[in-house]
Structure 1
């Protein structure tokens, strides 16, 4: 029987908003506190205060709470700015963990959180687990600026961890190439909310055309442009694009303007719908209108879109990169397609739209895989097993010695 644990999840944000990082930490904390096995654990998520009016402690679920630490100004900070407050965050954790709040295991999320937590956990002889949720190499491939020392520090944190939990196989391989020992690395993917993302439920309106859906954090990552270009070769379909600025700001956004010009030049503008950034509660309603979801980013796709689409019973056409390479089973829950090849993608879409039986089979398999493999309950139990491997085996209390009379009675019966 697994013991009751005190678990510390360490971040450097206040868990505001609907980013993949925020959703992952909230849902993981809730699932760890009350896993399906009936056990109850105490889970504390440690973040950094980013709003002077925010409460210092917030209940996330029974057994799970968010505690905000004071370090630097109470405002969102960039990575470069956060690095100047690593010592303050570490000192705040030391004070918290010096007494009754000492955890049994520490699990950091993000490379700066790893820098903060690794030192304190080692000083206090607490098992330390690291998750990255994105590496410097992937950010650079997208053309984003990263701190010059980030890759070196990511490697140092991984080597200092007792266990590293990668979000997908590609990340695990990248960590090994960086120098993190392979035996330390195992894969624990992001989960999906199986109550919110389901095949049945309310859906947005749509017309008679079969709808393709793209959900992108960044409209410039290459996947959106490929989807628009692919529409030329799937003349019966329409494309709904969620992401980028808020809906009211679409007309003034330069990226949306450039993509709109592209659609006009390709004569597909009448079949392209820009929805802007959707509130999270609206995403299942959009996905349920899709015949297929397109996840075509060449480098670092949004990590949750494919699984959330599958949970809604929507097959996924995806580039085999990042988490998509693991979650989308080629020819079973969707199809792997090459990055930056709109002709290939478009012809695949056209062929599949004519194969109703194939798409219906993929839809059933997609929902089954998402709700079984990626349920938060399963992810939490796999994470708990990773923690258990680092903890000392609890001593078993010796059974009470039987008296001589009890032994004689047992032998005579």
Structure 2
């Protein structure tokens, strides 16, 4: 793709947060706006998001060529899905006002299903190429035991079928979309990226002892992965488990999920080897990951797609369940291990055997860092996203051929005055 595009990214979620969709949308906007080379021009990217904070500036610069534009749609506070759906029309109207006239983008890329509803309606009305990224599907969240809006699956299917292209993050999500009825030919897999300047092997690290440290990072302590990790620890003597996630550190004692996990650790007699850190700010995650011998990503459903990438970028092999993006990002026997979810005895033995093989562990660490810093750079993710966009955009018009040069003898003949006999 040679021409510079005006690209609209749309999200109904709070883009100031540290959740996956917010991080991905911000970083993708910056990467799309960067020139691909000295000779190439970056694209003009505007991220449209619903206002979640009354005090936030309406327009914010994300980086060279990329801006965040907030739209008033409902009260300026965080809303759940049921509340957000009541304001989809307002969000759509805000997009319509900005895309009618000079602000019309060349392409719209919606992130998330509620932002997708608003963006799809306006893009179709204005005949703008439309791309959708689900960032998780209702069917998968329902499997994980989360409450899902009853209309979500039907609306996700409608968005996928209406989109010119669907960009999904992993093979599991693509397969689910196909089962839902989205044509396979519309689907392109582009993984999430990792910030290779923030997540590196070299840098400051948190203090730690002589034990092998196993680290698990999650937002939801009840996603199943933490309990499995504690049970697996029983079979890894001499190792410790550090859990990052859940409430703020000062609120750990009053959190019901933390209490249940602590009781589980006591019952298994591993409580002295389990440390709960609470929520760790994103800027501190590299300091924690650099202390780990292994990162554990064991959630049985919808695991975080970023944690294995960030761990590998810090040179940490990953032991992961074969679910979600784990199956694509972690190469079994090369950058870590694939293990079946909810099998703590088997997982514990696999971890113990790997920790005992220092040479293998070191080789995995090297391969993990190499894979993260080559396959998952944001520049590469942006390039693959642009290739997906090219499937939605109309073909560029072929340049008109230049007229063939007139031979000098013919030109001279034409210039001579006609002879009169």
Alignment TM-score, normalising by the size of structure 2: 0.95
Equivalent position of 1:265 in the other structure: 267
Task: Tell me which residue corresponds to 1:399.
Answer: 402
Helix, strand or coil at the partner of 2:195: coil
Q: Tell me, which stretches of 5 or more residues in structure 1 are unaligned? A: none
Change in Cα spacing, 1:326 to 1:35, as seen in structure 2 (3 Å) is farther
Equivalence for 1:4: 4
Distance 1:161 1:85 in 2: 21
Task: Give runs of aligned pairs for residues 6-405 of structure 1, distance below 5 A.
Answer: 6-37=6-37, 38-395=40-397, 396-399=399-402, 401-405=404-408
Q: CA deviation at 1:130?
A: 0.4
Distance in 2, matches of 1:198 and 1:375, equals 12
Task: State the Cα deviation string for residues 174-221 of structure 1 (Å, max 9, x = none).
Answer: 000000001001101110000001111111000010100000111111
Contact 2:131–2:392 (CA under 8 A) maintained in structure 1: no
User: Contact 1:35–1:381 at 8 Å: present in 2 too?
Assistant: no
Kept in 1, the 8 Å contact 2:216–2:242? The answer is yes
State the shift of 1:40 in Å. 1.2
**For the Cα contact (< 8 Å) 2:59–2:67, is it kept in 1?**
yes
Q: Give 3-state SS (helix, strand or coil) of 1:23's partner.
A: helix
Distance in 1, Cα, partners of 2:61 & 2:353: 50
Of structures 1 and 2, the larger Rg is shown by: 2
In structure 2, relative to structure 1, the CA distance for the partners of 1:400 and 1:299 (3 Å cut) is same
Contact 1:14 1:68 in 2 (8 A): no
Paired residues of 1:4 and 1:41 also in contact (CA < 8 A): yes
* CA distance, structure 1, for counterparts of residue 177 and residue 283 of structure 2: 34
CA offsets 1:210-236 (integer angstroms, 9 cap, x no match):
100000111111110111111111011
Q: Secondary structure at the match of 1:221?
A: coil
Aligned pair count reads 409
Deviation at residue 75 of structure 1 after TM alignment: 1.1
Q: Which runs of 5+ in 2 are unaligned?
A: 413-421
Q: Tell me by how many angstroms 1:401 deviates.
A: 4.5
Helix, strand or coil at the partner of 2:9: strand
Note if contact 1:223-1:298 (Cα within 8 Å) is conserved in structure 2. yes
Pairwise CA distance, 1:400: 5.1
Calculate the TM-score normalised by the size of structure 1: 0.97
Q: CA deviation at 1:13?
A: 2.5
* Alignment match, 2:419: none
Q: Distance in 2 between matches of 1:278 and 1:408?
A: 78
Offset of 1:388 from its aligned partner?
Answer: 1.8
Equivalent residues of 2:312, 2:369 under 8 A apart: yes
Distance 2:196 2:54 in 1: 34
Counterparts of 2:135 and 2:405 in 1: how far apart (Å)? 55
1:252 Cα deviation after fit = 1.1
Partner SS state of residue 233, structure 1: coil
SS at match of 1:43: strand
How many Å separate the matches in 2 of 1:89 and 1:19? Answer: 21
8 Å CA contact retained: 2:213, 2:292:
yes
CA positional deviation for 1:77? 1.0
